[in-house]
A and B are shown apart, each in its own frame.
Chain A
Amino acid sequence: MVDEKDYLVANNLNEAKVLMHEHCGNIHVLAGGTDLMVALREGKRSGRDTTYLLDISNIQELKAIERKKVTISDEDCNTNEDYIRIGAMVTFDEAAHSGLLLKTAGALCEAAKSVGAQQIRNVATIGGNVCNAAVAADSLSALTILDAKVVLEDLRGERVLSIGEFITGPGKTAINEDELLTEIRFKPLEDYYSAFVKLGRRKALAISRMNVAAALAFEDEKITEARISPGCVFATPRRVQSAEKILIGESPSEELFMEAGEEVSKEMVRITGRRWSTDYKYPALSAVTFKALAIAYNQAKSDT
Chain B
Amino acid sequence: MQKLKFVLNGKCVEVEVEGCARLIDVIRENLGLTGTKEGCGIGECGACTVIIDGDAVDSCLYPALRAQGKNVTTIEGLAKDGRLSALQQAVLDHHALQCGFCTPGFIMSATALLNKNPKPSREEIKNAIAGNLCRCTGYEQMIEAVLDASGQTEIDNDSA
Residues of chain B within 8 A (CB-CB) of A117 are 43, 46, 58, 130-132
From B15-23, B28-36, B79-87, give the one contacting chain A.
B15-23
- Report if A258 contacts B (CB, 8 A): no
- A118's partner among B2, B62, B68, B131 (CB-CB below 8 A) is B131
**B-contact bits for A50-90, CB 8 A (1 contact / 0 none):** 00010101000000000000000000000000000000000
Shortest distance between the CB of A8 and any CB in chain B (Å): 9
Chain A 1-19 interface residues, beta-carbon cutoff 8 Å to B: 2, 4-7, 9
Residues of chain B within 8 A (CB-CB) of A93 are 55
**B-contact bits for A81-119, CB 8 A (1 contact / 0 none):** 000000000000100000000000000000000001111
Chain A 21-66 interface residues, beta-carbon cutoff 8 Å to B: 30, 33-34, 37-38, 40-41, 53, 55, 57
Would A119 and B56 count as touching, CB distance under 8 A? yes
- Report if B127 contacts A (CB, 8 A): yes
- Report if B76 contacts A (CB, 8 A): no
Shortest distance between the CB of A64 and any CB in chain B (Å): 18
* Complex Cα spacing A302 to B63, Å: 45
Chain B 1-48 interface residues, beta-carbon cutoff 8 Å to A: 2, 18-20, 22, 41-44, 46
B69 and chain A: residue at smallest CB distance:
A58
Interface range on chain A (Cβ under 8 Å from partner): 20 to 34
- Report if A120 contacts B (CB, 8 A): yes
Residues of chain A within 8 A (CB-CB) of B20 are 2, 4-5, 7, 37, 40, 53
Residues of chain A within 8 A (CB-CB) of B46 are 117, 119
Most chain A beta-carbon contacts within 10 A, residue among B42, B58, B62: B58
B1 and chain A: residue at smallest CB distance:
A4
Shortest distance between the CB of B155 and any CB in chain A (Å): 27
* Complex Cα spacing A116 to B43, Å: 9
* Complex Cα spacing A41 to B22, Å: 10
Q: A7-B19, A34-B43, A119-B46 in contact; A55/B65 too (CB < 8 A)? A: yes
B2 and chain A: residue at smallest CB distance:
A7
- Report if A274 contacts B (CB, 8 A): no
Chain B 97-133 interface residues, beta-carbon cutoff 8 Å to A: 109, 112, 127-128, 130-132
- Report if A123 contacts B (CB, 8 A): yes
Residues of chain A within 8 A (CB-CB) of B2 are 6-7
Shortest distance between the CB of B14 and any CB in chain A (Å): 16
- A34's partner among B18, B61, B132 (CB-CB below 8 A) is B61
Most chain A beta-carbon contacts within 10 A, residue among B57, B68, B132: B57
* Complex Cα spacing A117 to B43, Å: 9
**B-contact bits for A116-130, CB 8 A (1 contact / 0 none):** 111110110000000
B18 and chain A: residue at smallest CB distance:
A4
Would A53 and B19 count as touching, CB distance under 8 A? yes
* Complex Cα spacing A4 to B62, Å: 17
Residues of chain A within 8 A (CB-CB) of B44 are 205
- Report if B95 contacts A (CB, 8 A): no
Would you list 23 pairs from A and B whose C-beta atoms are within 8 A, ordered by A residue? A2-B20, A4-B19, A5-B20, A7-B20, A7-B65, A37-B62, A38-B42, A41-B41, A57-B66, A117-B58, A118-B56, A118-B112, A118-B128, A118-B130, A119-B46, A119-B58, A119-B109, A119-B131, A120-B43, A120-B61, A120-B131, A122-B55, A204-B131
Given contacts A41-B22, A120-B61, A204-B130, 6 further A-B contacts (CB under 8 A): A7-B65, A33-B66, A38-B61, A118-B131, A123-B61, A123-B62
Name A residues whose Cβ lies closer than 8 Å to a Cβ of B: 2, 4-7, 9, 30, 33-34, 37-38, 40-41, 53, 55, 57, 93, 116-120, 122-123, 203-205
5 shortest interchain CB distances as A-B pairs: A117-B131, A5-B19, A204-B130, A7-B19, A5-B20
